[in-house]
């Protein structure tokens, strides 16, 4: 085997080896008459304030509000990083599959090229054995001129076949070179996305650790009052949303697939949030919605940002149970509308899948997976 063969086979083998927020649903969401109790609402404002250098809060409500804003900022940053991680993870899986497939094509192409070379070698040896004299001399020396002429015809056919064989070898070599080039490019993309995943993972862990440290500095009664502040912020946002009269316009009925998606999502209530998780024991926000729709027979993008980009948009007043509400200007959170002004969602680290008011966070828009 030549050095070119060895390098292609080695590359193929190397590639293969390397790849080897409110508590319960009900009329509380449709009416702002009283807040529904919850330990996990998400506040509307995007904070710019910090909780101070120590991060600890005194007994004063203003300090606790600063802590709430600081926590919200940290968890929002963690959510943004989680979306980046999920996107890189999805791309990495696809690119890994492409690299493996290209490696297989290289191995198959190499085997084909070797078979073609063997055939070409056999043809060359046969031609050598029959050569040495010009055609006129071989005709004159032949005992059977007719047989010679028939043989000469076969020789011409063989020459045409040899020419085709060489052309096929050239095409195979060209394909092998292209497969190798494509595999190299995909490998580079794969490495780039692995780096993005690692950077996003680091940021997620840093933000969550900072938030947990800040919360750990609070006294028990301060944590209770902080939870009340979070609840009040979510209730205030939901009340403002309902006060617009929007719920009177929302009367769409779920499709058959939408009902199945809602049934799946609500069956996960109480399971912990975990960034990057798609179930069945833990979920992040887009992991929950993508798996819910997968259970209904519809494959949708993995991340909330891609759900927003790729799925058909519908007006808020036209939404129906099963539709996905995308939150925040950067589309970094998603919940599933379940009717009566409520969503089911996986809120953030330290929380569980729960029911929340659909307007308790800033709505970017609504998408419909089965439109």
CA distance 286 to 304: 5
Is there a domain that residue 17 lies in?
yes
What range defines the domain where residue 289 resides? 3-104+201-367
pLDDT on residue 322: 97
Q: Which of 160, 189, 313, 333 is catalytic?
A: 333
For residues 272 and 349, is the Cβ–Cβ distance under 8 A? no
pLDDT on residue 192: 80
Q: From 312, 295, 303, 307, select the one nearest 261 (Cα to Cα).
A: 295
CA distance 252 to 27: 17
CA distance 238 to 325: 14
For residues 252 and 319, is the Cβ–Cβ distance under 8 A? yes
Q: Which long-range contacts (CB under 8 A, 24 or more apart) does 166-169 make?
A: 166/120, 168/116, 169/113, 169/116, 169/117, 169/120
Q: Which of 17, 160, 285, 313 is catalytic?
A: 285
State the CATH number of the domain containing residue 30: 3.90.1720.10
Q: Which two tokens stand for residue 137?
A: 């001399």
pLDDT on residue 26: 34
Residues of the chain with pLDDT under 50: 1-28, 30-59, 132-134, 136-137, 139-141, 158
CA distance 222 to 230: 12
- DSSP secondary structure letters along 11-25: HHHHHHHHH--BS--
- Note the Cα 25 to chain centre separation in Å: 30
Contacts of 218 (CB under 8 A, 6+ apart): 56, 57, 67, 226
Is there a domain that residue 143 lies in?
no
Question: Domain total for the chain?
Answer: 1
Work out the angle between the directed axes of helices 285-295 and 61-130 (0-180°, nearest 10). Answer: 60
Is there a domain that residue 341 lies in?
yes
Burial class of 101 by CB neighbour count within 10 A (0 to 12, 13 to 18, 19+): middle
Alpha carbon distances (Å) from 335 to 72, 288, 311: 17, 8, 14
Mean pLDDT of the chain: 76
Q: Is 345 marked active-site?
A: yes
């Amino acid at each position: 085997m030549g050095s070119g063969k060895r390098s292609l086979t080695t590359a193929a083998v190397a590639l293969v080896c390397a790849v080897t927020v409110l508590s319960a649903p009900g009329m509380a969401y449709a009416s702002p008459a009283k807040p529904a109790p919850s330990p996990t609402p998400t506040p509307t404002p995007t904070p710019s304030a910090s909780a101070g250098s120590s991060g600890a809060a005194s007994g004063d409500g203003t300090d606790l509000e600063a802590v709430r804003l600081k926590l919200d900022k940290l968890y929002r940053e963690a959510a943004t990083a989680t979306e980046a991680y999920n996107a890189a993870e999805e791309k990495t899986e696809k690119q890994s599959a492409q690299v493996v497939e290209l490696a297989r094509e290289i191995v198959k192409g190499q085997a084909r090229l070797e078979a073609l070379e063997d055939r070409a070698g056999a043809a060359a040896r046969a031609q050598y054995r029959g050569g040495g004299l010009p055609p006129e001399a071989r005709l004159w020396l032949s005992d059977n001129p007719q047989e010679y002429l028939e043989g000469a015809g076969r020789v011409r056919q063989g020459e045409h076949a040899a020419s085709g064989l060489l052309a096929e070898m050239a095409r195979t070599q060209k394909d092998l070179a292209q497969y190798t080039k494509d595999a190299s490019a995909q490998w580079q993309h794969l490495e780039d996305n692995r780096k993005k995943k690692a950077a996003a993972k680091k940021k997620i862990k840093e933000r969550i650790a900072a938030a947990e440290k800040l919360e750990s500095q609070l006294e028990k009664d301060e944590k209770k009052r902080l939870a009340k502040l979070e609840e009040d912020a979510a209730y205030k946002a939901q009340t403002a949303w309902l006060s617009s009269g929007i719920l009177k316009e929302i009367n769409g009925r779920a499709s058959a697939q939408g009902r199945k998606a809602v049934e799946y999502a609500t069956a996960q209530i109480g399971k912990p949030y975990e960034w990057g998780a798609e179930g069945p024991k833990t979920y992040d926000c887009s992991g929950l919605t993508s798996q819910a729709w997968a259970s209904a027979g519809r494959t949708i993008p993995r991340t909330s940002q891609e759900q927003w980009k790729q799925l058909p948009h519908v007006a808020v007043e036209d939404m129906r149970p099963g539709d996905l509400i995308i939150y925040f200007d950067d589309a970094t959170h998603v919940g599933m509308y379940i009717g009566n002004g409520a969503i089911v969602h996986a809120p953030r680290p330290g929380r569980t899948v729960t029911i929340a008011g659909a307007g308790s966070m800033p709505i970017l828009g609504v998408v419909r997976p089965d439109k």
